[in-house]
Structure 1
């Protein structure tokens, strides 16, 4: 199936990044969120990212204008009726995602593929909220989207080969590398990453080391570009907690239980970079 118009639900950190790479690849993009101020902020962030590339000589100024010209904003999910392919990039919350997919089922023509950028919720569970489970798939981008090359592509039990092939082609068109995962909680990336982050939080909780020392060990000892606590702040501690809860509940293994300190920080509103305070202060 040829994709010409690409819909993105959510204009936050992940959503505006997905919209940027889609528009850069030449697609017409509809970026949606629940409030105009959210989509305006997302569009401003895209413009800022593109201007940074212009300033570095990596992008021509007129190309920046063309990319921005391919993006339209929306605060009504009914606008997704014009899209050929839709990616949901809302909060990592089942109730929110299920409601979005139920609405998309009603407004999008039958041929439209509905993808989710979920980082942990099983695709089959999301697909059950539609009457087109064969056209539901996971398209999990990494953060920051314009920089990171990986996209996890996750098929539910009912996802068709045609839906998979269209998604793989779309991923490559956006200059990303797809990696296929089967439909289990956390998929591949977060099933490996989140226990590491959680264990780093436990080390802090138990007083094994200070935050800087924990991060330094992983950066210099394991050659990670960023320490796990700083990475958790970048991802968002609420998102980390949501993923760990999904792993814990979905797999029933106590090794995935979230550290009480992580839960305490989230309850206090210390969510990382986006709130100005997490394991570090920003």
Structure 2
């Protein structure tokens, strides 16, 4: 079986929920014959009615012409019994995320379909190899993981199990393109690419909140407005809903045999138990009234500026950026080798907390405030300040007034290794590097999957390049030096490329040269 002569024209879909309907929609519009099967016969009719209504709406909006709409709907029919899928070239299951249920279905399908039919699972977190293990012919089983809503989320993960015929994956890649989606290829590992890479934002955001560093809303504001993400971790968790996301967090953690990078948070477990699931129930990390997120207002910034400011020179580029803001605010710069007795003290740590930064330079911690300089300060949409446990209210408030003087909002957080944005972004980059190191997917597919599947401004490897691999490595090593937590150990992919001055998107040169010669 090869992808050159293996054609998929008739597709069976088992499970007619949101995912099954979405896959049916793009397949029918691509001209494939679609057969819908569900153990609940009424669900099949409901799914076809939904598709008819969807095609009609798209036609009314001018996004789909009438002829194509009618043709697409005509491509869809119901399978009253599973035997009606006998002539399918491909069957995609989109049923409950339970391994034994999926294995039983695939065993049954093998008794129905032809020997050339491909069996694909839309699982988001279960092992393709394990699903195929109960099959007589596991070589025809692969993963075909779409994202919800399928018509709008234009990426699909094609997953090769240990026994999958590579030609099966090739054919599914080709089919994805025909259906207007962008395919990415992954090995069979927990979370594949997108759910694996997504651990960085969610688990680290929860970690920050769990340490009492900042509120859910403040963490989201920082990740949106300072780091440039479309959604913060808690907005994202409310959107996906905890009844979906928390079990995935637990599943990936256990499948990686309690890898510290993926440790779930008791915050989500408790909130799930309490029914604070997210948008769909009207209350999660935020309340929702008429579907609108209710966000607590920020207090106005203080207005009293400091008399003079001394800035650490530990990081020269950050020092220069802070000094420019001080000059813009018209505040006196203390240029002494050590701070004057009445000067506000500003430090710019990368990975360290404000306490460690103060102690390392023998500074008066009562006057120390740290500012996050990972992202450009002058063009910032938001700035983040951090205090030591000893920082006085006066020092905190005058620093807040200083860095908000040009109208940019400022968030003040409690002491934290790596602030908020530094540690979350560094974790995202580090996990992306680990996916590349383990050869789960190519660097290109990792970044492509994450940008399309998670909506990040850049993929994790490109993000690391943009901020500087050496900077990300410094942040992680400094966090690790303070906390000793193995979740922050740098990936070898990151460490080696940072030391050699290579792009994080670059594969090993010898491998690239071998591919070119072939």
Q: TM-score over 0.5 for the alignment?
A: yes
- Counterparts in 2 of 1:268 and 1:50: CA distance versus 1, 3 Å: farther
Give the drift of 1:20: 0.5
Say whether 1:159 aligns with 2:134.
no
1:16 and 2:11 correspond: no
TM-score (normalizing by structure 2): 0.50
Matches within 5 A, 1:13-162: 13-74=18-79, 76-162=81-167
Give the structure 2 partner of residue 259 of structure 1.
265
Find the residue that maps to 2:185 and give its secondary structure: strand
Contact residue 191 and residue 247 of structure 1 kept, 8 A: yes
Consecutive unaligned residues of structure 2, counting only runs of 5 or more, are 1-5, 292-518
Please identify which structure carries the higher helix content: 1
Residues 114 and 137, structure 1, Cα contact 8 Å, conserved in 2: yes
Measured after TM superposition, the shift of residue 201 of structure 1 is 3.8
Q: Distance in 1 between matches of 2:37 and 2:236?
A: 27
Change (3 A) 1:42 1:232: farther
SS at match of 1:159: coil
> Are positions 1:184 and 2:189 aligned together?
yes
Per the normalisation by structure 1, the TM-score is: 0.89
Look up the SS of the partner of 2:180 in the other structure. Answer: coil
Alpha-carbon contact 2:48-2:77 (below 8 Å) kept: no
Q: Note the C-alpha offset of 1:88.
A: 1.2
Separation in structure 2 between the aligned mates of residue 75 and residue 271 of structure 1, nearest angstrom: 35
* Deviation for aligned residue 1:113: 0.5
Deviations, residues 31-66 of structure 1 (Å, cap 9, x unaligned): 222323433443344334333422331111332222
Instruction: Please say if residues 115 and 139 of structure 1, whose CA atoms lie closer than 8 Å, have aligned partners that are also in contact.
Output: yes
RMSD: 2.4
Contact kept? 2:93, 2:121, Cα under 8 Å: yes
Change (3 A) 1:218 1:31: farther
Give 1:168's match in structure 2, choosing from 173, 194, 212.
Answer: 173
Cα distance change, pair 276–113 in 1 and its aligned pair in 2 (3 A): farther
Greater C-alpha Rg: 2
Consecutive unaligned residues of structure 1, counting only runs of 5 or more, are: none
Considering Cα pairs closer than 8 Å and 6+ residues apart, tell me whether 1 or 2 has the greater RCO. 1
The aligned length equals 282
1:249 to 235, 254, 267: 254
CA deviation after TM superposition for structure 1 residue 29, in Å: 0.7
Distance 1:201 1:130, change over 3 A: same
Would the aligned equivalents of 2:11 and 2:91 in 1 still touch at CA under 8 Å?
Answer: yes
Deviations along 1:60-111, whole A, 9 cap, x unmatched? 1332222122111345333322311011112222232222222222222221
